[in-house]
Amino acid sequence: MDFSKEEIAPLASIEEWEQDVLQRYPEPHKSKDEFRNYENPQRDTVREFYRLNHTYQTFDFVQSKRAEFLKFDKKEMPIWEAFDFLNTLVDDSDPDIELDQWQHLLQTSEAIRADGHPDWFVLTGLLHDMGKVLCLFGEPQWAVVGDTFPVGCKHSDKIVYPEFFEANPDTKHPIYGTEYGIYEPHCGLDSVYMSWGHDEYLYQMVKDYLPEPALYMIRYHSFYAQHREHAYEHLLNEHDRDMFKWVKLFNPYDLYSKAPVPPDTKALKSYYEDLLAKYLPPTLKF
């Protein structure tokens, strides 16, 4: 399927999605208005982003993207080169902060480290948005970022802008449009296909290297309909519920760790080089 330039990039920056999440789930004791300081905040681009996301993220679309990208044949890079590659995604539209992608990841991991969490948790903070490199392979913004949700079953009305699912052909599908769709009650999320984006892509890339709690954080950190709204309890099993404690623990570090002072990359590089070498191979396939 071919998309117009406007359909590929409805947002001025992919970080507009995360700013919208902050407005929906503001940091405790902080006003929603404090997170964005646009002179005239425009909600139309965010609405258009979700209209496209909810229209085109079908079960068949997800299967096509898994077949295309999970071969990991686009590029092979050392991890530090991958960070440089990711850094070409600079958010020039965010008035709250002027940090690149690498610095956001480093701030997240440093906040986790400062709280004394295990080193694999720190590494998860450093890696969690690496899947956004999908944008650099020409993928539409709405197929890279955005709230994630199960496909192959009925869309929950707890998902942001649920009205836009009316245009999604799966909504009227005789199986995909039902509560359980292709799934069994409490089948567990490992049996569930999620909408396509940077979360699933990175999870599949690193699933052989990190502990299971880290993989849950990576795979489901954008699944707000569940870890904030509890909309898909009927698909979760007990193991998922236990693991989602980690997703909820990670979420505040992802959303609320931004600060205007950049981390000292030179001082921290040696620590992170050793940490990356402990868990990951010398190069990653993208």
Q: What is the pLDDT of residue 98?
A: 53
Backbone angles phi, psi at 93, to 5 degrees: -100, -10
Q: Beta-carbon neighbour count of residue 112 at 10 Å? A: 23
| Contacts with 282 (C-beta within 8 Å, 6 or more apart), sequence order | 78
Helix, strand or coil, per DSSP, at residue 217: helix
Alpha-helix residue ranges (DSSP H) falling in 57-129: 59-69, 79-86, 101-114, 119-127
Place 29 in a pLDDT band, splitting at 50, 70 and 90. Answer: low
Q: What is the pLDDT of residue 19?
A: 81
Range with lowest mean pLDDT among 58-62, 82-86, 125-129: 82-86
C-alpha span between 179 and 119 (Å, rounded): 39
Is the pLDDT score of 135 beyond 50?
Answer: yes
Which comes out higher in pLDDT, residue 97 or 241? Answer: 241
Q: Are 151 and 58 in contact (CB under 8 A)?
A: yes
% the chain with pLDDT above 90: 71
Which comes out higher in pLDDT, residue 103 or 220? Answer: 220
Which range, 6-20, 79-93, 171-185, 250-264, is most confident?
171-185
Q: What is the pLDDT of residue 263?
A: 80
Is the pLDDT score of 36 beyond 50?
Answer: no
Place 194 in a pLDDT band, splitting at 50, 70 and 90. Answer: very high
Q: What is the pLDDT of residue 90?
A: 53
Q: What is the pLDDT of residue 97?
A: 43
Please give the biggest Cα pair distance in the chain.
57
Is the pLDDT score of 94 beyond 50?
Answer: no
Mean pLDDT of 161-182: 98
How many helices (DSSP H) and strands (DSSP E) are in the chain? 12, 2
C-alpha span between 180 and 239 (Å, rounded): 19
Nearest C-alpha neighbor of 111 from the set 124, 94, 101 = 124
* Distance, C-alpha 248 to centroid of its chain: 14
Residue 102's domain spans which residues?
Answer: 5-285
Using left for φ > 0, alpha for ψ between -120 and 50, and beta otherwise, residue 58 falls in: beta
If one counts the domains in the chain, the total is 1
